Copies of this chain bind each other. A is one copy, B any other.
């Protein structure tokens, strides 16, 4: 469903959302231990996210990664689409091309709306909204 990379990326972004801001950046080496992702792998992922303007960064001393207000408004789907590509999440359970709700493959009913609901949620929920829930204690981030 989600690749390891996408999960890592989500974790990292959520962590940044909780702990950084424009004037409180964070370096990879201070992040990776906290979210339990291999250092240089995380570095690569963050660079990718940064390149696609999903997170922000600045180099040099006092530099690091962070989330701007603008970044916080992005829907979660952006993260997984950038890392996994848009296909992966949206492919049919049996990887059959001609499968949709009009012409459902045999497993379609079993999945039900599971997958499409999940995608819809990822599209409609912003990073910020998710963080608000965490702060409100409605969910947890035991990264």
What is the bound-complex CA distance between A78 and B103, given in angstroms? 26
> Which chain B residues lie closer than 8 Å to A141 at the CB level?
105-106
Cross-interface CB contact of A118 among B7, B11, B105, B114, cutoff 8 Å: B114
A139 vs B110: C-alpha distance in the bound complex, in angstroms?
11
A87 contacts partner chain B, Cβ-Cβ < 8 Å: no
In the assembled complex, the Cα of A10 lies from the Cα of B143 at a distance in Å of: 34
Asked if residues B10 and A107 are in contact (CB atoms below 8 Å), the reply is yes
Q: A112 contacts B106, CB within 8 Å?
A: no
- A69 contacts the other chain (Cβ, under 8 Å)? no
Number of A residues near B (Cβ < 8 Å) is: 41
Shortest A123–chain B CB gap in Å is 10
CB distance from A81 to the nearest CB of B (A): 15
Among A4, A94, A106, A142, the one with the most B-chain Cβ atoms within 10 Å of its Cβ is A106
Q: Is the pair B114, A117 in contact by a Cβ cutoff of 8 Å? A: yes
**Residue-wise interface mask of A (108-143) relative to B, using a CB-CB cutoff of 8 A (1 in contact, 0 not):** 111111110110011001000010011000111111
Q: Can you list 16 A-B contacts (CB < 8 A)?
A: A1-B1, A1-B93, A4-B95, A7-B93, A10-B94, A14-B106, A104-B139, A105-B139, A107-B130, A109-B138, A109-B139, A110-B118, A110-B121, A112-B117, A112-B121, A114-B117
